[in-house]
Amino acid sequence: MAGTAVRGRLTWQTATVKSLIDETPQVRTISLSVPEWAGHQAGQHIDVRLTAEDGYQAEREYSIASAPGEPVSITVERLEDGEVSPYLTEELRVGDEIELRGPVGGYFVWDVAEGGPLLLLAGGSGVVPLRAILRHRERVGSTVPVRLLYSSRSLADVIYRSELDQPSAGVTVIHTLTRQQPPGWTGYARRVDQQMIAEVAWPAAEAPLAYACGPTPFVEAVASDLVAFGYPARRIRTERFGATGQ
Ligand SMILES: Cc1cc2nc3c(=O)[nH]c(=O)nc-3n(C[C@H](O)[C@H](O)[C@H](O)COP(=O)(O)OP(=O)(O)OC[C@H]3O[C@@H](n4cnc5c(N)ncnc54)[C@H](O)[C@@H]3O)c2cc1C
């Protein structure tokens, strides 16, 4: 069995697009049928490989948006000048095939045994693996308390908005809208900073586990804010999407 699982993770395999959901004007969730999927943990990612007709190949990493046990899905934000994300968000159709391998990553994952309370910090599409964690928590009936601090440019850019508007018991979602706020908005309206962390985060004395994911500058800023707030580095897990991505 172990051999099968390892082969599954390292080998490129063909997946078929089952459904496409527009989350925001720039962001699309792609649900995939992966015949030889070995299963995954909440927080892991996959490698996606596209091959052009002339043989040119491009590979990118995408977090798995679905919980373990659910069909594999990814949620991709379109970067207008990007190579791969415009194809995935605009060209790909139901029934098309893409190549992938995985799951990849054993550090930015959460399972019930890890405990909590959980502090989840998302910048833009960095919410994707955190959503997998939230769904996993719900599916296994965990009551670990969770706070999600989610930074988006505007309300229209909030990914999984209807899902996050109805969090399960014990989950609190706190938004900050950095560039544009709707009339009457009373929530945070700035980038995550030390003051916001101090207001939102579980005190370090409660031994929380933090997961921060998003563009590299976001992740580095919130991780150092958490350290300044007293979180030990070993209780802060980070996933960097790169210089852009929000
Ligand atoms: C572990 C992990 C998980 C990820 N999960 C997700 C996810 O769930 N959802 C998601 O949307 N993204 C995710 N990403 C990011 C994703 O892998 C891609 O980086 C992203 O989709 C952009 O790819 P692209 O081909 O569209 O853009 P690219 O072509 O790679 O370009 C990215 C940016 O770099 C610039 N650029 C490219 N080449 C150059 C150059 N030579 N000089 C200067 N600038 C350049 C482009 O203009 C563009 O702004 C993840 C990344 C990692 C590492």
- Centroid of ligand 1 to alpha carbon of 124 (angstroms): 13
Do 47 and 101 meet the contact criterion of CB atoms below 8 Å apart?
Answer: yes
- Is residue 25 within 6 Å of ligand 1 at its C-beta? no
Residue 24 C-beta-side C-alpha neighbours within 13 Å: 19
- Is residue 68 within 6 Å of ligand 1 at its C-beta? no
pLDDT of 113 reads 94
Do 130 and 211 meet the contact criterion of CB atoms below 8 Å apart?
Answer: yes
- Centroid of ligand 1 to alpha carbon of 244 (angstroms): 7
DSSP codes, 85-138? HHIIIII--TT-EEEEEEEE-SSS-B-GGG---EEEEEEGGGHHHHHHHHHHHH
pLDDT of 7 reads 52
- Of all protein residues, the one whose alpha carbon is nearest to atom 52 of ligand 1 is 241
- Per-residue confidence in pLDDT tens, the chain, 246 aa: 344 455 557 899 999 999 999 999 999 999 999 998 999 999 999 999 999 999 999 999 999 999 999 999 999 999 999 999 999 999 999 999 999 999 999 999 999 999 989 999 999 999 999 999 999 999 999 999 999 999 999 999 999 999 999 999 999 999 999 999 999 999 999 999 999 999 999 999 999 999 999 999 999 999 999 999 999 999 999 999 987 644
pLDDT of 136 reads 98
Do 226 and 236 meet the contact criterion of CB atoms below 8 Å apart?
Answer: yes
Q: What percent of the chain has pLDDT over 90?
A: 93
Distance CA 15, CA 90 (A): 18
Q: What is the pLDDT of residues 118-134, one digit of tens each?
A: 999 999 999 999 999 99
- pTM given for the model: 0.95
pLDDT of 8 reads 59
pLDDT of 104 reads 95
